[in-house]
């Protein structure tokens, strides 16, 4: 199969449907990376956190649909990426549903679902593109599968500890010491 080079990355030239899906996939993936980071770093109350989270959910939906289209076109080469996208979308749905239903312990399930989805999103990116990235191409292939979780799981654990302590839900104090929203 022929390839084309875009921004230094070798892309399979699998036809116009594949390339169109890829363009939407990249845009949605970048949206997810940005909105997921914004949601994760925001205080856990109305405002930036739920707004960024909704953008992330829509983005991960597009990532899943476009990954499905590209996998159908190149199943032999992309079946594993379809599974990663399925896991990412499934975890995001689980995290969202946990938040919507608010059963006892929902914040932990929400954080694990959404954080796990973000880890899966990054795993898919590095598994597919890591061998072509400047520093990543020096790593063994298994590292593309393991490193996002090795970094992400401790961050989720740290965020849950902060949430349990009330640190991530407290309003920020202003310069004068008064609480602000």
The per-residue DSSP string of 88-102 comes to: HHHHHHHHHHHHHH-
Instruction: Give pLDDT < 70 ranges for the chain.
Output: 1, 167-181
Q: Does residue 95 contact residue 106 with C-beta atoms inside 8 Å?
A: no
What is the DSSP code (8-state) at residue 178?
Answer: -
d(CA 29, CA 20): 14
What Å distances lie between residue 71 and 25, 107, 160, 179, CA to CA?
12, 33, 35, 50
**What does the pLDDT read at residue 12?**
84
Using alpha carbons, select from 36, 35, 7, 37 the residue that is nearest to residue 22. Answer: 7
**What does the pLDDT read at residue 62?**
98
Using alpha carbons, select from 49, 47, 30 the residue that is nearest to residue 107. Answer: 49
The pLDDT tens digits for 44-80 are 778 888 899 999 999 999 999 999 999 999 999 999 9
- Give the rounded percent of residues in the chain with a pLDDT score beyond 70: 91
**What does the pLDDT read at residue 173?**
57
Domain ranges in the chain are: 10-164
User: Which pair of structure tokens corresponds to residue 68?
Assistant: 């499905």
d(CA 13, CA 17): 10
d(CA 2, CA 140): 26
Q: Does residue 32 contact residue 52 with C-beta atoms inside 8 Å?
A: no
**What does the pLDDT read at residue 181?**
43
**What does the pLDDT read at residue 170?**
58
Q: Does residue 123 contact residue 144 with C-beta atoms inside 8 Å?
A: yes
d(CA 147, CA 154): 12
Mean pLDDT, the chain, as a whole number?
88
Distance of CA 174 to the CA centre of its chain: 32
Residue 56: how many CB atoms within 10 A of its CB? 27
d(CA 85, CA 61): 9
């Amino acid at each position: 199969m022929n390839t084309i080079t875009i921004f230094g990355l070798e892309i399979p030239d699998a036809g116009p449907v594949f390339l169109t899906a890829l363009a939407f996939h990249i845009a949605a993936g970048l949206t997810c990376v940005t909105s997921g980071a914004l949601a994760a770093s925001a205080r856990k109350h109305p405002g930036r956190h739920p707004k960024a989270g909704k953008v992330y959910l829509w983005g991960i939906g597009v990532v899943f649909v476009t990954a499905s289209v590209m996998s159908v076109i190149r199943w032999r080469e992309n079946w594993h990426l379809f599974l990663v996208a399925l896991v990412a979308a499934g975890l995001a749905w689980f995290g969202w549903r946990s938040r919507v239903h608010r059963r006892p312990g929902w914040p932990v399930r929400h954080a694990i679902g959404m954080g796990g989805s973000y880890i899966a999103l990054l795993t898919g990116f590095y598994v597919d593109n890591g061998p072509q990235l400047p520093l990543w191409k020096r790593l063994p292939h298994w590292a593309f599968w393991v490193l996002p979780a090795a970094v992400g799981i401790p961050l989720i654990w740290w965020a849950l500890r902060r949430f349990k302590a009330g640190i991530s839900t407290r309003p920020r104090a202003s310069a004068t010491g008064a609480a602000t929203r």
